[in-house]
Amino acid sequence: MEQVKTLEKTFELGNKLEPERKMQLARALGLQPRQIAIWFQNRRARWKTKQLEKDYDTLKLKFDALKAENDRLQTHNEKLQAEVINLTIFSRS
């Protein structure tokens, strides 16, 4: 548990490790440098996935708002076109 906490704190400071820092962490945690490198690689992959999910959610909200505005404008446009047609017909008679 302590190892994971230390790795998470280190990840928060920077999601890439310099070789020297990787060696220090490996010694401090009693792990192989390769284990540290793999942990960081896996953690970056999880972080990237979460970022993509957040970005998707943000874009979806924006899209939904724009679609609603577009639908509103299209309805308004159709009403105006109907008015123009009615005025054109009325002015001919």
| Averaged pLDDT for residues 60-80 | 98
Count of C-beta atoms within a 10 Å radius of residue 26 = 16
Domain extent for 76: 2-92
pLDDT of residue 33: 97
| Averaged pLDDT for residues 55-66 | 98
- Name the H helices within the chain: 2-13, 19-29, 33-92
* pTM greater than 0.85 (yes/no): no
Q: How far is CA 62 from CA 9, 51, 71, 83, in A?
A: 33, 17, 14, 32
pLDDT of residue 92: 81
Question: The CATH number of the domain where 76 resides is what?
Answer: 1.10.10.60
pLDDT in tens, 12-23: 999 889 999 999
Q: Total structural domains in the chain?
A: 1
